[in-house]
Amino acid sequence: MRQIVTPLLNWYELNKREMPWRDVRDPYLIWISEIMLQQTQVETVRPYFDRFIKLFPDVNTLAFSDQQQVLKAWEGLGYYSRARNLHKASKLVSSEMNGQLPGKFEELLEIPGIGPYTAAAIASIAFNESVPVVDGNVFRVFARLTELEDDISRPQTRKLVFESLKEIIPSENPSDFNQAVMELGALICRPKQPKCDECPVAEYCSGFRQGTFARFPVKRKMKDRPHKEIAVGLCFANGKVLIARRHENQMLAGMWEFPGGKVESGESFTECVKREFMEEVGLEITVTEKLAEVDHAFTHFSITIHAYLCTLISGTAQPLSGSEVRWVLPSELSQYPFPKANQVIINSFLNRTV
Ligand code: SF4
């Protein structure tokens, strides 16, 4: 394995992509970029990263900002717990660490929301510590190079890959080595149709030599994702629409949405909207027409949201299941952070009224 180091670093020097966070050494900026890059493509992250660091240029600014502002800046990027945890952790770093992220891998792991991957990225890139990063790209490259038969979803396999790379990561430039392996995984050793003929480490690759690379990495099959039908209502009264804020202990905590919920067995979508309005916000409503239908996939399940226009019959809106409710003008909706699927519903509504 040690033979891969030099050709890999040479290849990286000539082929690395320009990125706003590449070649920076500021641990805060590396932290933000690595959190954003989790489960998200580089091209999607770029504009979010630029905007985020303009709004929150350092740990203290982030720590003293309102959570709603942070969620608003994250809106559309998904996996909102990343933004909430980042915000929470910035408060800790600001109040207990004098606004400075610690420089050691083990110390970084103590910060909530910073796992082994992010800690290794910050420690190696900002502080030059010889600690390897292990993400999906690294797993794939390593598994193909060594024909690794172990299931990569098992924690033991992560440990094995981490320890093996630790043996070969060069102490002079651990940052380049880590980024080179990830870049190789992203550009050359791609999940489908890897470009082995352009690969700088092909001669050391067992999977290539044996023609077995397509079998790696070995991963346990995920069960089929369950699907849920959700019905929601945009309820209007006096020109304003009702929105509700999700509770801190719910998925998508702190985000705003239109009241509604899961359609129960034997229930129609419109019956569901009426029931949910009564249960969630204490309002009796009437459903007038269907507005939109939106499909969305989360990691462990997928949903279809059926959105309806509704009008108020009686009652005073109360946050019976969320943390807050508000009547807002349609033009004010853009001030609130909404999950991606709700954003599609808002656009459907705004487009039909212009
Ligand atoms: Fe991946 Fe092919 Fe390079 Fe092996 S030779 S590391 S399979 S791209």
Percent of the chain whose pLDDT exceeds 70: 98
d(CA 204, CA 3): 7
Distance 4 CA to ligand 1 centre (A): 11
**Known active-site residue 34:** yes
pLDDT at 354 over 70: no
Q: Which tokens go with 199?
A: 């690969």
| Residue 39: band (very low, low, confident or very high) from pLDDT cuts 50, 70, 90 | confident
| pLDDT for res 223 | 67
Atom of ligand 1 nearest to the CA of 195: 8
Query: What type of residue sits at position 293?
Result: E
Convert the pLDDT of each residue in 125-173 to its tens digit. 999 999 999 999 999 999 999 999 999 888 889 999 999 999 999 999 9
| pLDDT for res 222 | 63
Nearest CA to 45 among 57, 53, 37?
37
Convert the pLDDT of each residue in 218-273 to its tens digit. 987 766 678 999 999 999 999 999 999 999 888 888 899 999 999 988 788 999 99
| pLDDT for res 203 | 96
pLDDT at 48 over 80: yes
Closest residue by Cα to atom 1, ligand 1, is: 189
Query: What would the 3-class secondary structure string for 58-127 be?
Result: CHHHHHCCCHHHHHHHHCCCCCCHHHHHHHHHHHHHHHHCCCCCCCCHHHHCCCCCCCHHHHHHHHHHHH
What are residue 195's phi and psi, to 5 degrees? -90, 70
**Domains contained in the chain, CATH given:** 2-215 (1.10.340.30), 227-353 (3.90.79.10)
| pLDDT for res 353 | 59
| pLDDT for res 100 | 95
Locus of tokens 């939106």: 294
Atom of ligand 1 nearest to the CA of 201: 3
Which of 13, 18, 34, 284 is labelled catalytic?
34
Residues within a 6 A CB radius of ligand 1? 141, 144-145, 188-189, 194, 196, 199, 201-202, 205, 207-208, 213
Strands (E), the chain: 227-237, 240-245, 256-257, 260-262, 284-297, 302-314, 324-328
Query: What type of residue sits at position 18?
Result: E
Q: How far from 149 is each of 125, 208, 343, CA to CA, in Å? A: 30, 15, 42
Convert the pLDDT of each residue in 186-228 to its tens digit. 999 999 999 999 999 999 999 999 999 999 999 877 666 789 9
Quote the mean pLDDT of the chain: 93
d(CA 315, CA 286): 12
Atom of ligand 1 nearest to the CA of 213: 7
Three-state DSSP class for residue 289: strand
Convert the pLDDT of each residue in 77-128 to its tens digit. 988 889 998 999 999 999 999 999 999 999 999 888 888 899 999 999 999 9
Distance 135 CA to ligand 1 centre (A): 17
